[in-house]
Structure 1
Amino acid sequence: MLLNKWGIYLLLCIGNFCYGQNTPQKTPLTEVIITVEKQFNIKFSYAVEDVKAVMIQIPNAAFTLQETITYLNSNTLLNFKILNDRYITISVLNKTTSICGVIFSDKIKSPLVGASVFVNNSKSSTITDANGRFSFGSIPITATLTISYVGFESRQFSANELFTTADKCTEIVLYSKNEELNQVLINVYLTPGIQKYLDGSTVLNTKNFTILPGLIEPDILQSIQLLPGVESINESIANLNVRGGTNDQNLMLWDNIKMYHSGHFFGLISAYNPNLTNKVVVNKNGTSAEFSDGVSSTINMYTKNLLTNTFSGGAGINSISADAFLEIPITKKLDLHISGRRSVTDWVKSPTYDKYFERSFEDTEINKSSYQHDTSSDFYFYDYTAKLLFDLNEKHQFRVNIIGINNALDYSEHLTNSNETQSKTSNLFQKNIGYGGNWKAIWNTKLSTDFISYFSKYTINANDYRVETDQLVSEENQVLDTGIKLNTHYKTNENLNLLFGYQFNETGMLNQTIVINPNYSSTIKGVMLNHALFSEVEYHKNNTYVRVGLRFNYFQKFDKLLIEPRINIRQKLSNEFALKLEGEFKNQSSTQIVDFQDDFLGVEKRRWVLVNNKDIPIATSKQVSFGLEFNKNKVNIEATGFYKIVDGITASNQGFYNSFQYTIANGSYTAKGLEFFANKTGYQYSIWLSYTFSINNYQFNTLKPSEFPNNVDIRHSLSVGFYYTIIKNIKIAVGGSWRNGQPYTKPIEGAQTKQNGNNVMVNYGSPNNDNLDNFMRLDASLNYSFNLSPLIKASITAGVINVTNQDNVINRYYKVNSNDKNNALQVDNKSLGLTPNISFRINF
């Protein structure tokens, strides 16, 4: 017995002291129990879940049994009770505990401000304060916490590890990740959950999101509109205008799958579920050479990509839809993440639905009424995602994804004539489904590869029964896009990264129109094969960040090669000031054409087409921007000037409401301006101001006049807002936006219409020569979070869009007055009026 006792003591000495460790290492309690059982020939009786997460320093091997039990009782939140000479019971002393910690960086041991601390399988989370400190007043003793900070390795701790009987908090060290060059520049940008990277990209981390004015959830594409240089002139996330571009000039990627559709309610709600979306990276310029095919911006959405080995999920319902998501561990190496959302508006018509319906179907056949007609409509949407995560080992990861987005509309007309009623039903279906796969391999400490593949299918079709003429019009637009990409990353040292890659895309598009009575049919198909080679160097050391890339694009159909250089430089001048320079060439081989007359029941007026290098050329862009940044004491100020030329646009994809509406012409636009952003953040608040000044003009050499203002020429745009944590579980956000009205074209006074053959048309004057009244809106949101149980968290969020019910006209055009064909009738499209919404969510 004595030999055995000294043998254990010698083993503990070797494990804890003989390597010169200053601080004794902690060991799982389950291992300590086994050692003590052998040492004293006893048995412990306990529930595994009560002790499996407990870590403790091994008791002195020289202790007697009573001393050992006393030590275990004083250093854990468990009750060790001796029943007899043979058995000892272990029970939970307290179900919850309070903990605190201070987080430091590994190299200079400075406090990490804004580090994220999550209680796994719950909604409890916090960030560290100015001293790197965090605390929780009451959490389960069996809980596990994850501590993370961008640029550092995440660490997990049990609540028992952070429990201390002393007055001071547990010190925790996070170790930096040397391989991550593109570090966070600003940890809180606008609001917690939005960050700024060194390369100038903006990152939305939806897991850390608080609230934004008017929103009841972290709507990805709505949140982007708070950034300077990003507008939506018609309030639609399906029409994001980045530095004067059209929506089809934004490259949308969801886990590397190219998406061709982005919104529900035809643009009022983002179609991407934020609950499984881990981060969204927005690039307006200086994009990595890895990406192309979006001449205005790249919006890259990533879902959670790490195995958690914990079951978690959540669900919510609001005035428009209900959703749920689950993260399911199947094995230690395999996870399944799923989500789904469906509108409830075909069951319950809320005031929010009424406002959204009126706005979405304004000036369409759905909202038209006649004394001869009775109409009814049934509209719903849904989306779903699934992701399978498999880690073969530490060096090989496999991911498989699927995403589906659906909008459906049934519209019925009932025409009564001579006591006879005719009924016809029209319908509209809009879908985007995508499949993706990714294999990441780490071959050694310097070399890694990413193999990416995807398939995306977009379809919109409509069957329009026109009762008055007994006519059926069927229209379809379909996109099939298949792509593969191989990225090779080589890390020469901790400051320098190299990227080499190849990308292949095959894109096919179909446009079909079939008319019955009279019979007519038109089908247009096209296929393109594109190849690309790209290379990039990324360097970051001390105050200098540089990323330089080159991309070679080969269009097989046209035997055409386009070379695209990219540059992104940030130089820190002092602790407070930095300069940044960004530039890029990009191209785009697909675009949308706009038909205001007939497309898809008038609800969706755009259809995708491929370039043909003739009347629809390849669109190309050249852009440069230069800026100054100031950052001190959580005050961030940025001023950026930009100059952008996009060539190869067509009159048909601009959506003209003027004399060029039916003209075939190719041209360009030039956007130049200044973006200003100021933000002050604190532990409980954030205040921001965003202002953009820009001049945006078209140039069409074959039109007269050849130069005139762009449809989205918004000279001045201003937004201000703040969020504030009133108390720990109540947050408020208020914000307002103001901008110049959109340009529009008036008919010629005294000659508002003109004869064109047998048709009478509006006789427009100078294109985009007038502007609508200024746009102004105030939004607000309020969030209250609470615990339903230690493991189930809940929140209620209320939001109001356009609190003051401002009457904003967002588009104006003219049509021939059917009662007086010598005059034109003015048509105004209005923005959302006062629109309330409320949501209830639970997370576990």
Structure 2
Amino acid sequence: MLNKEKYWLIMLLFTSIFGTAQDRSEVDLVTYLDTVETSFNIRFSYQTEAVQDLKLQNSTFEQLDQTLQYITKQTGLTITKIDDRYYSILPRTSSIFCAQILDAATLKPLEGATIQALNKNASAVTDANGYIELALIKPGDSIKVSFLGYQTEVLKVERLTSNCQQISLAPKSFTLEEVVIKRLFSRGIRKFPDDRIEINTREFDILPGLTDPDILQTLQILPGIESIDESINNINVRGGTQDENLMLWDEIKMYHTGHFFGLISAYNPNLTERVEVTKNANSSEYSGGVSSTIKMYTPNAITEKISGGAGFNGLSADAFLQIPISTKLALQISGRRSFADYFQTPTYTSYFNRSFQDSEIKNDGSSAENIKSLSDFRFHDYSAKILYDISPKHQLRASFISLNNTLEYSESDVDEQLINESLIDQDNIAFGIHLSSVINPAYDTFLNAYYTQYNIRSTDQDFSNNQVLAQTNQVLETAFKAKGTWHLNSRMNFEHGYEFTETGIRNTTSVNQPVFQQRKKDVVRQHAIFGDWSLATNNFRLRTGLRTTYFEKFKKVRLEPRINIRQKIGHFALKTEAALKNQSTTQIIDFEDNFLGVEKRRWVLVNDNDIPLITSKQISLGVDYTQNNWLIDLTGFYKQVSGITASNQGFQNQFKFIKTNGSYETKGLEFLVNKTTPKLSTWFTYTLATNVYSFESLNPATFPNNTDIRHSINTGGSYALFNNFKIAVSLNYHTGRPYTLPIENAETLPSSSNTYVVNYDTPNAANLEDFMRFDATANYSFNWDAVTAKFTLGIINILNQTNTIQRYYEVNPDDNTQAIAIQNNSLGFTPNASLRLTF
């Protein structure tokens, strides 16, 4: 028997349930008026034409006044009381339209959005709370809602109400183009119709081997993108070298890419919101990367609340904050630092051994008998961004970033007297500012300026001989760009602009005993005008452009046409891309004057002589199929790059110290299959390619490229066991890279200086053993009040497979008639774990 309190509690519960479950379906206004007349014993007088097409939600009220107010708000009609029983209903032929414009993602009001009544001379701009009132509007009229950086909407006014209607605008970056598939490999990775790949780190879910969304590691899951030595400093896009990739961070060109001298990305993913990767015909607005363009962007919207996070893994700790100072001003800051100088984890030990295995640096505590060695390695990156909305139509953004790697190494004897002390310091500091403006609904502008400085410095001091060797490589670059976008109509755009770039590079080497100094500095200035025309319909997309660049120093003009076409036919789409590109900076690899054996690359400028302008010609043809969350993509490509130098390629054979110019030609097929469901994503990628050098002054003149990976496979999947627990596994396989063997039974030969050198056979005629690696990751996430926590465990090379990534030869110091192999291996079994908190 229930007591009285329980009885009333149950009755109250049932009453609340059924009371809130009233019929909220739409009904015709005429039917609704008939019901009101019966309920309140009144009569309405109206013209049938004024109400016959109107509908409203079927809601009931206890009071007549409440009912009449509800009808007025929902329909915009005027109700006038004639006497106690009769009421007249009259239409509003023209009235005030009220709305509030919101950001679809954050629901933040948009100040300065424009609403224009089509076919009428009426428009207005929203206030600080996103509200707008527009006269001369009636139901059935069309309005156009637009705002800088957001998709323009054209809507019909269904009714006029005193409660302002909410209209949400989606950011352009998410709606400018149809996404071919919502998720590629993992949540947060998208593929667009023009073959751009976007990585959204805020939405990033899980990939095998990664505990954090490492931006540049993630790229290597894509077909056509490899790293022949497992290094971010050596990402090879369709057979190109690392310096052929244009790296932009908030529209600033960067000359430094990786921490740990290339094993992890130097860009903190927590304040890098999204990354765009283009392998072929990008917009003519960008030049300088003959193989690819990689653009990284930080958040660009001012949020209402403070947000941020912090975390750590086996290598470093980091934190980031987004701080709204006012509705028009905000600050973003982030920082990351390694902690190996305080505490060393198994992850750090594995990375250290991999990074410094072919250098002067030892990690075993001794470099020779009775000699003790110490090494201290650390890295950091810091970034900041100021966001200021000057007015509803003008947005100012300023960005700053600092990246650094520092390595200190020393050797001492048994009496702890220093024998040798070395230091290498590598950094990239950059600052950029840009202004976005809406001139009118059909035209907007973008002004951008930046300064970037890259430095690598090393000193090597031999105390026994009182000798000091110092080396530097410095890049200073400033640029200014002005761009306008003319929105001809909803389907056509025309982008055009001008860009000026000044790049200066300095290389120095100095020795105190014997005294030797070498300094070289070059400057190249470029003036470029560019224009892109784009057309988009339901099934057809076209973007074509031309960039014209004038090089002051050489008094030469270079043209760079681009074209990108996509035609959709049912679930299939045919696509083609073609581009000509130029590049004025490159890297040379100096095996004699390298930085402690760790960093061998130096940035240099073209001089139109022994270091010519690098040019590329590319074309690709493909077809893709999308249906039921399946994506199947097949693309064939051809690329020719000329103007490369032998010293840029890193030859470890008979061409090691030869300086000459040449080209390479690569062609192949890229195949991708991806199936996604809400819980499962599986993928298979395969790349078949050939890559051949052509150097007229070498013998032989043609031979396989150092980056010639004939077959490459990446296959894996991720699965959500529960809503908050996910796992991912993958297999990475590719055939071995080429290398050069010494001649059998004649491995060395005497040189002119009464020493011996390796007697190499045909260049790149042999291949290393095939590379194979299994990776796995699992993560668990949970909410704790307003904080979201995620714990991730990742393992690289879970089977501890020994993979050789480089092999070359040196003369045996104990027998100068023999050559010994110097071999570098990839990462072994490498566990890592991370804990991340966000709010």
The TM-score normalised by the length of structure 1 is 0.80
Give runs of aligned pairs for residues 680-691 of structure 1, distance below 5 A: 680-691=675-686
Partner of 1:453: 449
Q: Is the 8 A contact 2:357 2:824 kept in 1?
A: yes
1:580 aligns with 2:578: no
- Asked if the contact 2:104/2:170 (under 8 Å) is kept, the reply is no
Would you say 1:480 and 2:493 are equivalent positions? no
Aligned-residue offset at 1:22: 5.4
User: Any conservation in 2 of the 1:153–1:174 contact (CA below 8 Å)?
Assistant: no
Aligned AA for 1:563? L
Q: CA deviation at 1:472?
A: 1.6
**Structure 2 match to 1:799:** 794
Displacement after TM superposition at 1:744 (Å): 0.3
CA RMSD of aligned residues (A): 2.6
Comparing 759-768 with 258-267, greater Cα deviation is found at: 759-768
Going from structure 1 to structure 2, the CA distance change for 1:153 and 1:265 (only over 3 Å counts) comes to: farther
Output aligned runs, 1:157-168, within 5 Å: none
Aligned to 2:565, which of 564, 569, 573? 569
Uncovered stretches (5+) of structure 1, i.e. residues with no partner? 1-16, 26-55, 69-114, 121-149, 155-170
Shift of 1:424: 3.3
Q: Secondary structure at the match of 1:601?
A: coil
Alignment of 1:101-116 (within 5 A): none
Paired letter, 2:762: S
- Give the match for residue 7 of structure 1: none
Tell me the secondary structure at the aligned position of residue 511 of structure 2.
strand
Contact 2:105 2:170 in 1 (8 A): no
Shift of 1:817: 1.1
Aligned to 1:146: none
Q: Paired residue for 2:304?
A: 309
Instruction: Please name the residue that 2:428 is paired with.
Output: 432
Which residue pairs with 1:386 in the alignment?
Answer: 384
Q: 1:832 to 1:420 in 2, by over 3 A?
A: closer
Deviation at residue 309 of structure 1 after TM alignment: 1.8
Tell me if the contact between 1:718 and 1:738 (Cα under 8 Å) persists in the aligned partners: yes
Q: Determine if the alignment matches structure 1 residue 400 to structure 2 residue 398.
A: yes
Matched, 1:369 2:361: no
Instruction: Give the counterpart of 2:417 among 421, 431, 435.
Output: 421
Name the counterpart of 2:516.
520
User: For the residues of structure 1 that align with 2:635 and 2:715, how far apart are their CA atoms?
Assistant: 18
SS of the equivalent of 1:602 reads: coil
Are the counterparts in 1 of residues 107 and 168 from structure 2 also a CA contact under 8 Å? no
Contact 1:413 1:467 in 2 (8 A): no
Aligned to 1:411: 409
C-alpha separation in 1, matches of 2:593 and 2:465: 15
Cα offset, 1:565, TM superposition: 0.6
Q: 1:751 to 1:492 in 2, by over 3 A?
A: same
Instruction: Write the mapping of 1:150-229 to structure 2, written as runs, cut at 5 A.
Output: 181-229=176-224
Distance in 2, Cα, partners of 1:508 & 1:344: 34
Correspondence list, 1:298-337, <5 A:
298-337=293-332
Q: 1:740 to 1:443 in 2, by over 3 A?
A: same
1:464 aligns with 2:464: no
Displacement after TM superposition at 1:394 (Å): 2.2
CA distance in 2, matches of 1:304, 1:241: 28
Distance 1:622 1:517 in 2: 48
Q: Which amino acid aligns with 2:533?
A: V
**Could you tell me how far apart the structure 2 residues matched to 1:667 and 1:567 are?**
27
Task: Provide the C-alpha distance between the structure 2 equivalents of 1:749 and 1:401, rounded to a whole number of angstroms.
Answer: 57
Distance 1:640 1:386 in 2: 39
Distance 1:750 1:537 in 2: 63
1:669, distance to aligned residue in structure 2 (A): 0.1
Rounded Cα–Cα distance in structure 2 between residues aligned with 1:824 and 1:428: 31
**Maintained 8 Å contact 2:104/2:169:** no
Aligned counterparts of 2:166 and 2:328: Cα–Cα separation in 1: 27
Matches within 5 A, 1:777-788: 777-788=773-784
Between the two proteins, the alignment pairs up a number of residues equal to 700
Listed one character per residue, the Cα deviations across residues 211-243 of structure 1 (whole Å, up to 9, x for unaligned) are 100000111000000000000011111110000
Q: In structure 1, what residue type is equivalent to 2:573? A: A
- Report if the CA contact (8 A) 2:316-2:337 is conserved: yes
Structure 1 residue matching 2:610: 3-state secondary structure: coil
Residues 551, 557 of structure 2: 8 Å contact kept: yes
CA distance, structure 2, for counterparts of residue 59 and residue 792 of structure 1: 44
| Contact map agreement 2:419 2:464 (CA 8 A) in 1 | no
Aligned amino acid, residue 379 of structure 2: F
In 1, the alpha carbon distance for the partners of 2:733 and 2:668 equals 17
User: Matches of 2:205 and 2:652 in 1, distance apart?
Assistant: 40
**1: CA distance between counterparts of 2:723 and 2:166?**
24
Q: Which amino acid aligns with 1:425?
A: E
Residue 184 (structure 1) shift: 2.4
Given residue 413 of structure 2, which amino acid in structure 1 is its aligned partner? Answer: L
C-alpha contact 1:283 1:298 (8 A) present in aligned 2: yes
1:281 aligns with 2:276: yes
Q: Deviations over 1:753-801 (max 9, x none)?
A: 1222213211111110000000000000000001122x11111000000
Deviations 1:65-118 (A, max 9, x none): xxx9xxxxxxxxxxxxxxxxxxxxxxxxxxxxxxxxxxxxxxxxxxxxxx9978
- Distance in 2, matches of 1:306 and 1:266, equals 33
Larger radius of gyration: 2
CA 1:58–1:504 in structure 2 vs 1: closer, same or farther (change >3 Å)?
Answer: farther
**Is the 8 Å Cα contact of residues 309 and 335 (structure 1) preserved in structure 2?**
no
Q: State the partner residue of 2:830.
A: 835
Q: What's the counterpart of residue 713 of structure 2?
A: 718
Moved more, 816-825 or 830-839: 816-825
Question: Following TM superposition, by how much is the alpha carbon of 1:425 offset from its aligned partner in structure 2, in angstroms?
Answer: 2.0
Whether 1:540 aligns to 2:508 is no
Question: What one-letter code is carried by the residue in structure 1 that aligns with 2:386?
Answer: L
Residue 343 of structure 1 corresponds to which residue in structure 2? 338
**Aligned residue number for residue 510 of structure 1:** 506
- Post-superposition shift, 1:554? 0.7
The answer (yes or no) to whether the contact 1:697–1:707 under 8 Å persists in 2 is yes
Deviation at 1:751, TM superposition (A): 1.6
8 Å contact from structure 2 (residues 389, 396) kept in 1: yes
Deviations 1:495-542 (A, max 9, x none): 000011111000000000011222211000011101111111011011
Deviation readout 1:576-634 (Å, 9 max, x if unpaired)? 10100000000100100002233111110101000111000000000000001000111
Query: 1:687-710 deviations in whole A, cap 9, x for unaligned?
Result: 000100000000000110000000
CA distance in 1: counterparts of 2:463 and 2:750, whole angstroms:
28
Q: Distance in 1 between matches of 2:271 and 2:572?
A: 36
SS of the equivalent of 1:354 reads helix
d(CA) in 2 for partners of 1:363, 1:410: 16
Structure 1: which amino acid aligns with 2:519?
T
2:806 and 2:824 in contact (8 A); partners too:
yes
Q: What does residue 694 of structure 1 align with?
A: 689
* Residues 57, 650 of structure 1: alpha-carbon distance in 2 compared, 3 angstrom cutoff: farther
1:637 to 632, 639, 644: 632
2: CA distance between counterparts of 1:306 and 1:804?
44
Deviations for 1:633-668, whole angstroms, at most 9, x for unmatched residues?
110000000000000000000000111111111000
Structure 1 pair 730/525, CA: closer, same or farther in 2 (3 Å)? Answer: same
What CA deviation, in whole Å up to 9, does each residue of 1:524-572 have, x standing for no partner?
Answer: 0011101111111011011000000001011100001110110000000
- Which 10-residue stretch deviates more, 371-380 or 664-673? 371-380
Within 2, Cα distance between the matches of 1:478 and 1:610?
A: 11
* CA distance 1:637–1:468, change in 2 (3 Å): farther
